[in-house]
Chains A and B, each alone.
Chain A
Amino acid sequence: MEFEPELVGFLCKWCSSAGADLAGVSRRQYPSNLVPVTVNCSGRVDASFILKAFKDGADGVLVSGCHPGDCHYTSGNYKAWRRVAMVKRALEEFGVNPSRLRLEWVSATEGDKFASVVEEFTGEIRELGPGPFNHD
């Protein structure tokens, strides 16, 4: 059977989750591999959430927030940016391909972008194969 990636997406409530909603309203079809966790802000995403998601068996993790300058809470997305940069570095050290972790800015008006991101990310992880703790 073809490998179906299991992806976790942390979406901020104000922009990216609203963007994902818009993709729905527009009936924009995309793969169902990514399951969204809505958090208040991308700044709510702790590095340990990401590592734990991988440890639990995720093949890829998406963190998606408001565009720079647009964070509903003014600056949470900048923290997300730095935390993701840091985790990518750690992943690399740990021997995990850092492209399994992806940061995107998706606004509430970018339903199409959200769908494209999921599409692209799913394809990329499908290429990469199972994640470090996916022993299914």
Chain B
Amino acid sequence: MTENKKKVAAYWASSCGGCDVALLGLHEKIVDLLENAEIVFWPAATDFKYDDLKGYPDDEIDITFFNGGIRTDENEEIANLLRKKSKTLVAYGSCAAQGGIPGLANMSSREELLETVYTKTPTTHNPEGLIPSEVSTRDGVELRLPGLQERVRSLEQAVDVDFFIPGCPPPPNLTQKFLGALLEGELPEKGSVFAGERTVCDECDREWKGKSISEVRRPHEVEIDPDVCLLDQGIICMGPATRSGCGAGCPEVNVPCKGCFGPPAKVDDQGTEMLNSLASILQVGEEGKGLEEERNILSGLRDPIGSFYTYSLPSSIFGGRVDDGGKDE
């Protein structure tokens, strides 16, 4: 029967590992899966070596769930290898699909990151200020670490991707649905995002009642009305600029959407789109009368990149911080 089983692989690149756990979140369904599928590579769960993978013929693996973005040379090397060995490569989870939270590191240069992590954090004891280097020699033995790349990229920015399953992590029902489609041979068109076609608002029962908002507030500053749209209450909720498919679980429990499902179909830069929409609906007093105050609110927003590009910075228009010499004034 082994021959008829689908060969499945999973890999964890630059991410927290939650997506691997999410695969296990299929619970007993994973037993059903294993009746029809065979795991051929999954470093987090089973003992495979890269050499095993290298030994497979091309296209040997039916499907690979790749989670995490591309941060190191190792991530990139394995992404390329898995691409070669897999018939179908799935960017699994927000990090692989859009770059994810690790992608926010793109607001700092590689050097800044290393310096911060190895010399500046309060818990670091590194009096000599040593920074790891790619190649080092100890007792005559050359040691190599995978190189840290300048920027985090989404999987698609490194290799060709067949499907995207977004989410931080992807909800089990979505994974299950995808596996069902895979086993039935009913996968959608290449390049599809396996989630909803609209935005989180479509699945959210809250209602936008106003015409505009007059302030931006943080969730703890508001006694949240459970029926009214969070944005309408001045709370930044990424729902309107985030693809549906999650079931709107976060807003349902008074937690604003952070955008983990990435942009909806027609949007290519989720953060910019939401910044733009927020600016559009913010209005202090009569339209046109509160311009200065509106500008102050918008330009005083705390951490706009962290808030609006939480999961999508690497796949945004700018991709991260850019170098432009001078500053204003």
**Segment from A10-18, A22-30, A76-84, A107-115 that makes contact with B:** A76-84
A89 touches which of B268, B287, B299, B323 (Cβ 8 Å) = B299
A35 within 8 A of B: no
Query: A133–B324 Cα gap in the complex (Å)?
Result: 9
B291 within 8 A of A: yes
Distance of B202 from chain A, by nearest CB (Å) = 22
0/1 interface trace, chain B 270-287, chain A, CB 8 Å (1 if under): 001101101110110001
Interface centre among B276, B279, B324 (most CB of A within 10 A): B324
B107 within 8 A of A: yes
**Segment from B6-14, B59-67, B314-322 that makes contact with A:** B314-322
B-side contacts of A36, CB under 8 Å: none
Q: Does B272 contact A47, Cβ atoms closer than 8 Å?
A: yes
Distance of B207 from chain A, by nearest CB (Å) = 23
Query: A48–B316 Cα gap in the complex (Å)?
Result: 10
Query: A99–B280 Cα gap in the complex (Å)?
Result: 21
Q: Does B288 contact A69, Cβ atoms closer than 8 Å?
A: yes
B-side contacts of A95, CB under 8 Å: 321-324
Known: A92-B328, A97-B327. A82 touches B295 (CB 8 A): yes
Query: A47–B304 Cα gap in the complex (Å)?
Result: 14
Distance of B313 from chain A, by nearest CB (Å) = 10
The number of chain B residues with a CB under 8 A from chain A is 33
Q: Does A93 contact B288, Cβ atoms closer than 8 Å?
A: no
Query: A128–B323 Cα gap in the complex (Å)?
Result: 13
A-side contacts of B204, CB under 8 Å: none
| Nearest B-chain residue to A134, judged by Cβ | B324
Residues in B276-314 with C-beta less than 8 Å from chain A: 276, 278-280, 282-283, 287-288, 291, 294-295, 298-299, 301, 304-305
B269 within 8 A of A: yes
B-side contacts of A55, CB under 8 Å: 317-318
Query: A95–B294 Cα gap in the complex (Å)?
Result: 23
Question: Mostly helix, strand, loop or mixed at chain A's interface?
Answer: helix
B-side contacts of A99, CB under 8 Å: 328
B-side contacts of A39, CB under 8 Å: none
Q: Does A93 contact B295, Cβ atoms closer than 8 Å?
A: no
| Nearest A-chain residue to B276, judged by Cβ | A47
Q: Does B275 contact A47, Cβ atoms closer than 8 Å?
A: yes
Q: Does B291 contact A128, Cβ atoms closer than 8 Å?
A: no
Q: Does B273 contact A86, Cβ atoms closer than 8 Å?
A: no
Q: Does B278 contact A94, Cβ atoms closer than 8 Å?
A: no
B-side contacts of A68, CB under 8 Å: 288, 291
Q: Does B328 contact A86, Cβ atoms closer than 8 Å?
A: no
| Nearest A-chain residue to B313, judged by Cβ | A94
Q: Does A83 contact B279, Cβ atoms closer than 8 Å?
A: yes
Residues in A115-136 with C-beta less than 8 Å from chain B: 128-129, 131-133
A46 within 8 A of B: yes
Known: A47-B275, A92-B328. A82 touches B304 (CB 8 A): no
B-side contacts of A100, CB under 8 Å: 324
0/1 interface trace, chain B 7-36, chain A, CB 8 Å (1 if under): 000000000000000000000000000000
Q: Does B273 contact A79, Cβ atoms closer than 8 Å?
A: no
Query: A69–B286 Cα gap in the complex (Å)?
Result: 12
Known: A75-B288, A81-B295, A128-B326. A93 touches B279 (CB 8 A): no
Known: A51-B272, A81-B291, A85-B298. A96 touches B324 (CB 8 A): yes
| Nearest A-chain residue to B106, judged by Cβ | A94
Distance of B21 from chain A, by nearest CB (Å) = 32
Q: Does A132 contact B280, Cβ atoms closer than 8 Å?
A: no
Q: Does B318 contact A83, Cβ atoms closer than 8 Å?
A: no
| Nearest A-chain residue to B323, judged by Cβ | A95
A-B contact pairs, 26 of them (CB 8 A): A48-B273, A48-B276, A52-B317, A68-B288, A75-B287, A75-B288, A78-B287, A78-B291, A81-B295, A82-B282, A82-B298, A85-B295, A87-B276, A89-B304, A90-B272, A90-B275, A90-B304, A93-B321, A94-B321, A95-B321, A95-B322, A97-B325, A97-B326, A97-B327, A128-B326, A129-B326
Those 3 A-B pairs whose CB atoms lie nearest each other, nearest first: A47-B276, A86-B279, A82-B279
